[in-house]
Structures are given as structure tokens and as C-alpha cells.
Amino acid sequence: MNIGVDAAALGMSGAVTATTNDVNSGYWNPAGLAHLQDNQLALMHSSYFANIANYNYAAFAMPLDDRSAVGISMIRFGVDDILDTSQLIDQQGNINYDRINLFSAVDYGIILSCARKLPISGLNYGVNAKIIRRIIGDFATSWGFGLDLGIQFEHKNWKFGLMARDITTTTNAWSFDDDRLQDIQNAIPGQNQEEPEATELTLPKLQLGIAKTFVFDYDYALKVEMDLIARFEQNNDLVATSFVSINPALGFELGYIDLVYLRGGVGNFQNEIQFDNSETLTFQPNLGIGFKYNGIAIDYAITDIGDQSVALYSNVFSLKVDLEIFRR
């Protein structure tokens, strides 16, 4: 749930909290759904680790009236056809390859979103309810639930956004198959003897964005946004304390006559500890392009160019359709 969605947004390193205004707002900031003029559908696919892991996303959103909108987003990230060798050796100590089975490790996420414009001009808010389902073959499964809250405000060509993720702390409760755990414990003596934790917590995270659009010669528009991402834990972010860690993200989008787009961004700054205990600052550069015509937008992004950081490298493709085109 933390990778992000939509090639257009990923090309800007996810710095879209203040400017997101389409069906993908259900993920980035649900307040952006209030800008919808018609029903929209979005699809995305990317692969990681040389196509071992697949990441798929689909979303639909629709306005209820001129002030309200709702949406639903679905995410699947999974590694399929993993070899289960826990039964490779039979009771006589013989290796039997017929005893190898396949399983999948999959994360599912469903986001239910609603947004509304407030009486104050330029101010919108949105709320997400998230359902998380995680499955590791027949070894373990979990259910989780969380809430997000988003706000957007626009004033004199400046845009501001605030996204509070997991505001109640998202909890995933795991259940384990005792027989399968015993198989793992017995596979290698002395290894994997401890039962995993049954509760997994995701702490709240804040993302604050500020953006402005510059128009040149009526044909060119440059949108620039900077976001600050705050996590209430100490980690390797650019600024890290015992109370909060803060990481910036900067993105831009250059559009020509609202037809073609060039995007770029940088984010995920990390103070990585090397083998000699020295620290090295790494970051994640992204690039993207897009094309939009007659209500159909096709976008592409390449993330972590040159493998500059420990983040996942991928080519991302996405499609967005204004369903109004089918009623013309």
C-alpha cells in the first residue's frame, strides 16, 4: 500500500498531494475527488524484481452532485508460483521433487473514498476507509482496517494539500496454520522455531504539499509541487528524530496544450549506513511521459532511474478514461 499508484503521479515522485484531482485521488488524497466532472476509470500495471512480483491497480470514481464524489480503488501486489519445499524430504529421508508445491504471497487493498466541497471557497475534504487482506499461501492470513483523511485548499493559483494516512493506526491481525508452521519448524532443525507476531501495526503518516502552476504563451503549463512526508518514528529519512522523521519529495509536470506531458521528480531521501558504518545520502529520481486525447490518458513512468536508492525499480504503465466519451 506504500508504493503508490498512477504512472503520472509516480513520475513526479508522488508529489501530488495538493494537485491530485482525478480518480487516482482515492489513493493520494481523497479530497481531490471533489474536482471530478464525470465518471472515471483507471488501470495500472508494473512489475518488480525481474517480473517476479506484479503490482496491479484499478479504480473507479464518480461525482454524486456538484459538491460530492465517491470512489473505490483496488490494489494487488503479489509474488506467485513460489516453491514450497517444506515437504521435499519424505519420512525416510529421501528427496522427492514431486512433493514440491507452489503458493503465492499476496497483499490486497480496497480503498473506499468519499469527498465533498466545503462552503469555504477552494476548500475540500475527503475520507478513506481501507481494508487490507494479506495471504501467504496456506501458511498465514491477515485482515486489516484503516482510515485516511485528506484536505485540499486552493487560493490565487496556489494549491495546498494535507493527507493523513492511517490516522487511527492501521492494525493487521494475523492467523497462522499451526500444522504448516510445524512443517517449517521441522524442515531445518534449529531454524524458524519462533512463531511470528500476530499483530502488525502501521503508524500514522502525514504528507503536506504545496504547488503552483505557471502558464507560458497559453500553450505550455508547468506544474511544480513540493511535499513533506512525516512519519512518527525514527528511521533513515533525511531528517530523523525520536519523535518524527521527515522526507521531502519534489515533482514537476510540463504540459503542452493539455495533450502531451513530461514529468520528473525526486524523493525518498535516505541516510544509508554502509559496511564501514559511514552514512551515504541516497535519493530516488523518477521520470515520466503522458499523452491525453479525447478523454483517454496513457502514462508511463520509470522509477528509481539508475538504481540510485534502495527503492523498487520499475517501469509503470497506467490508463485513465473519462467515461463521458461513451455517452457522446
Do the domain assignments include residue 18?
Answer: yes
Closest CA to 64 of 42, 34, 41, 26: 34
Q: How many domains does the chain have?
A: 1
The radius of gyration of the chain's CA atoms, rounded to the nearest angstrom, is 22
Closest CA to 57 of 113, 109, 12, 15: 109
Do the domain assignments include residue 267?
Answer: no
Domain that holds residue 232: 7-260+273-283+303-327
| Residue 43, strand partner residues | 58, 319
pLDDT at 306: 45
DSSP codes of every residue in 51-113: TTEEEEEEEEEEESSSSEEEEEEEEEEEEEEEEE-TTSB-TTS-B-GGG-EEEEEEEEEEEEE
Query: What tens digit of pLDDT does each residue of 104-113 get?
Result: 999 999 999 9
Closest CA to 174 of 202, 219, 135, 145: 135
Mean pLDDT, the chain, whole residue set: 89
Do the domain assignments include residue 315?
Answer: yes
d(CA 121, CA 129): 26
Q: Supply 180's cell numbers.
A: 504448516
Q: How confident is the model at residue 217 (pLDDT cuts 50, 70, 90)?
A: confident
Do the domain assignments include residue 57?
Answer: yes
pLDDT at 191: 67
Residue position matching grid coordinates 511544480: 224
Do the domain assignments include residue 265?
Answer: no
CA angle 254, 303, 19 (to 5 degrees): 40
d(CA 51, CA 48): 5
pLDDT at 289: 97
Query: What tens digit of pLDDT does each residue of 275-289 get?
Result: 777 788 888 899 999
Amino acid at 14: G
The set of residues, in sequence order, having a beta carbon less than 8 Å from that of 284 and lying 6+ positions away, is: 13, 266, 267, 268, 303, 304, 308, 309, 311
Question: Taken in order 233, 7, 303, 132, is the CA torsion positive or negative?
Answer: positive
CA angle 237, 240, 245 (to 5 degrees): 70
CB count in 10 Å sphere of residue 228: 17
Query: What tens digit of pLDDT does each residue of 160-176 get?
Result: 999 999 998 988 999 88
Do the domain assignments include residue 174?
Answer: yes
Do the domain assignments include residue 297?
Answer: no
Do the domain assignments include residue 204?
Answer: yes
Query: What tens digit of pLDDT does each residue of 122-181 get?
Result: 999 999 999 999 999 888 899 999 999 999 999 988 999 999 999 989 889 998 887 777
